């Protein structure tokens, strides 16, 4: 199999029932890949698989999976068998002041956003290392580079995701297994229905939101043209680098605006 093409590859996608994950599944099928859809709602996945098959003549595999359930992750991936690409997309956010955020909510968020993807990655890596080929793509966030008010837990979880990916990339050099990270800014999905119940933050960033299909297409592009990291949109990635270089200046100039979240 040509390692630089999606066609024929078995691509497992967590969080595939909506948003970016759903669009990734469509794009994989359009390019001739075989999507393996993983999410908590099997009914939604079945409906999605029907629509993908109707549009592309490729029938995705579907599996109910809560990535925070370590045993379920192990059992499910054993049942799936061979995987060429794992896209760790499952995750959610919750925006609230730090003092109002329950510790249990932080734990739940880390169970999904961090420990869930660790479990999924550990489940597929032995086979990839044995074959000396494969790819793991981590969907992180630009929040992994710029922490903002009311997003302490979410930003911390995405910092962890990027750190895991960076470390793993170096560990797996020369093994044939590639690691990439995608850092999207705000994306027009149902993410904000849970993360931003008031709708105030979504209203502020609506004009700069990316469409999920664009993020999905660029994510699937990484299978054909692997790279270390991808910031979306590019200008926001450049702005994040500016923040890392001059954090105090950015805090002074834009702190009041960021606190309006």
Report residue 144 as tokens.
């992994």
The catalytic residue among 26, 63, 92, 154 is: 154
pLDDT per residue over 12-21, tens digit each?
A: 999 999 999 9
- What is the rounded distance in angstroms from the CA atom of residue 98 to the CA atom of residue 147? 13
Asked if the peptide bond before residue 233 counts as cis, ω within 30 degrees of 0, the response is: yes
The residue among 226, 255, 223 whose CA lies nearest residue 29 is 223
* Res 253: pLDDT: 62
Q: What is the DSSP string of the chain?
A: --TT--TT-EEEEETTTSHHHHHHHHHHHHTT-EEEEEES-HHHHHHHHHHHHHHHS---EEEE--TT-HHHHHHHHHHH---SEEEE---------GGGS-HHHHHHHHIIIIIHHHHHHHHHHHHHHHHT-EEEEEE--GGGT---TT-HHHHHHHHHHHHHHHHHHHHTTTTTEEEEEEEE--EESTHHHHH-TT-HHHHHHGGGPEEHHHHHHHHHHHHHS--SEEEESHHHHHHHHHHHHSHHHHHHHHHHHHTT-
The C-alpha atoms of residue 60 and residue 154 are separated, in whole angstroms, by 31
What is the fold, at CATH topology level, of the domain defined by 10-258? Rossmann fold (3.40.50)
Residue range 136-181, pLDDT digits in tens: 999 999 999 988 888 999 999 999 999 999 999 999 999 999 999 9
What is the pairing mode between strands 61-64 and 85-88? unpaired
Let me know how long the chain is. 261
Would you list the domain boundaries of the chain?
10-258
Q: Is 26 a catalytic residue?
A: no
Average pLDDT, the chain: 91
Q: Kindly report the pTM of this predicted structure.
A: 0.90
Report angle CA 132, 134, 138 to the nearest 5 degrees.
135
Give pLDDT, residue 105: 95
pLDDT for the residue 199: 61
- 97-111 confidence digits (pLDDT tens): 999 999 999 999 999
């Amino acid at each position: 199999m040509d390692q630089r093409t999606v066609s024929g590859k078995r691509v497992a996608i967590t969080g595939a029932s909506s948003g970016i994950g759903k669009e990734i599944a469509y794009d994989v099928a359009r390019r001739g890949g075989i999507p393996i859809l993983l999410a908590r709602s099997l009914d939604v996945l079945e409906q999605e698989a029907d629509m993908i098959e109707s549009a592309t003549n490729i029938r995705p595999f579907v599996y109910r999976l809560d990535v925070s359930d370590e045993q379920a992750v192990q059992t499910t991936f054993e049942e799936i068998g061979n995987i060429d690409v794992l896209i760790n997309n499952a995750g959610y956010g919750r925006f609230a002041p730090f003092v109002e955020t329950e510790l249990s909510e932080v734990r739940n968020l880390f169970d999904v956003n961090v420990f869930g993807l660790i479990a999924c990655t550990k489940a597929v890596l032995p086979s990839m290392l044995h074959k000396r080929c494969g790819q793991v793509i981590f969907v992180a966030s630009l929040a992994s580079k710029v922490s903002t008010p009311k997003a302490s837990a979410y930003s911390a979880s995405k910092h962890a995701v990027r750190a895991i990916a960076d470390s793993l990339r170096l560990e797996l050099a020369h093994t044939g297994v590639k690691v990439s990270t995608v850092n999207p800014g705000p994306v027009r999905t149902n993410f904000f229905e849970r993360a931003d119940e008031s709708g105030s933050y979504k209203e502020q960033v609506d004009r700069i939101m990316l469409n999920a299909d664009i993020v999905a297409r660029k994510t699937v592009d990484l299978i054909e043209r692997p790279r270390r990291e991808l910031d979306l949109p590019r200008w926001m990635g450049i702005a994040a680098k500016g923040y890392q270089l001059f954090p105090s200046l950015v805090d002074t100039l834009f702190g009041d605006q960021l606190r309006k979240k």
